[in-house]
Structure 1
Amino acid sequence: MPETPVLYVLNGPNLNLLGVREPAIYGHETLADVQALCEQAADGAVVVFRQTNHEGELIEQIHEAREKASVLVINAAGYTHTSVALLDALRTLTIPIVECHLSNPAARERFRHRSFVSPVATGVVSGFGPFSYELAVKAALRLAQEHRATADRSVQ
């Protein structure tokens, strides 16, 4: 029987204010609503869902995921566009990474067009509001399954 995948969903700064911060861009759903959506989409996988406003703490969570997760979904929020340290932490992972955004950064301000997460992400889901997370979780779990199958084949 296959091991139950562990999915880390990490969220960066200001996402704790979902539902009240710029609802025209981010919608009216709260972070708790997004977490419930992720847990439902995970279909039995273990979901570790976290949010922080602190860059160093987000990096520590990535380090933890390196040891404990099968796959990572990350919405680094504003750190997406500014943090080389975040990129360096993500580069230490050997598991699939899915970058996720509620809005479409490419359709927003020019400074949001650059992502320090994308160079190490297996894929990016953005622009669908909370549904971005559902799509990201489903894609991440598929990637985790493929990653594990590849690892199992290389052991044999």
Structure 2
Amino acid sequence: MTSILILNGPNLNLLGTRQPEVYGAATLEDVERMCHDAAKTLGMTVECAQSNHEGILIDQIHAAKSSHAGIVLNAGAYTHTSIALMDAIASVELPMIEVHLSNIHRRETFRHKSFLAQVALGQICGFGAFGYVLALQALAKHLTTS
């Protein structure tokens, strides 16, 4: 069965309590449950991980190469600053979909630039927690047609 890594970056452990007017009321546990349910419907499995530390995220991306067919990544603020995460994604050569709960293009100007977009299969933003489901659906389609 196809396995996907759902990887969340800094501050996403605070979902549901951190700026719910921007990021919604769903907790990280809610998001992970939604991903497991969606994956089951798509005939896939998911492994969910979160870290506030860039190096740990990079280690998880590297490890994904041997155990997952793709990655759904919400790198939080590292999206706009981390060339290291971009390089890690490029090095494992797995399809990755970038997810953001809010529409980063309607927010502060510094959030408009994504280093990850250059190595992403696509970017989903502005749909709240449902963006993860959309990303899983897109990965499932990509993996069955490529």
Structure-2-length-normalised TM-score: 0.95
CA distance in 2 between partners of 1:95 and 1:77 (Å):
20
The C-alpha deviation readout for 1:24-81, integer Å capped at 9, x for no partner, is 0001110000001111111241211100000000000000112211111100001000
Counterpart for residue 39 of structure 1: 36
Q: Identity rate of aligned residues, in percent?
A: 49
Instruction: Identify unmatched segments of 5+ residues in structure 1.
Output: 148-156
> In the alignment, residue 78 of structure 2 is paired with which amino acid?
Y
CA-to-aligned-CA distance 1:81-117 (integer Å, 9 cap, x gap)? 0001111101112221111110011000000000011
Aligned position for 2:87: 88
Distance in 1, matches of 2:104 and 2:92, equals 24
On the 8 A contact 1:102/1:126 being kept in 2, the answer is yes
For 1:1-156, list aligned pairs within 5 A. 4-42=1-39, 43=41, 44-147=43-146
RMSD (Å), alpha carbons = 0.9
Give the ranges of 4+ consecutive aligned residues of structure 1 lying more than 4 Å apart after TM superposition: none
Partner of 1:152: none
Q: TM-score of the superposition, structure 1-length normalised?
A: 0.89
Q: Which runs of no fewer than 5 residues in structure 2 stay unpaired? A: none
The answer to whether the 8 Å contact 1:95/1:144 transfers is no
Give 3-state SS (helix, strand or coil) of 2:105's partner.
helix
**3-state SS of paired residue (2:65):** helix
For residues 83 and 108 of structure 2, the distance between their equivalents in structure 1, rounded to whole angstroms, comes to: 20
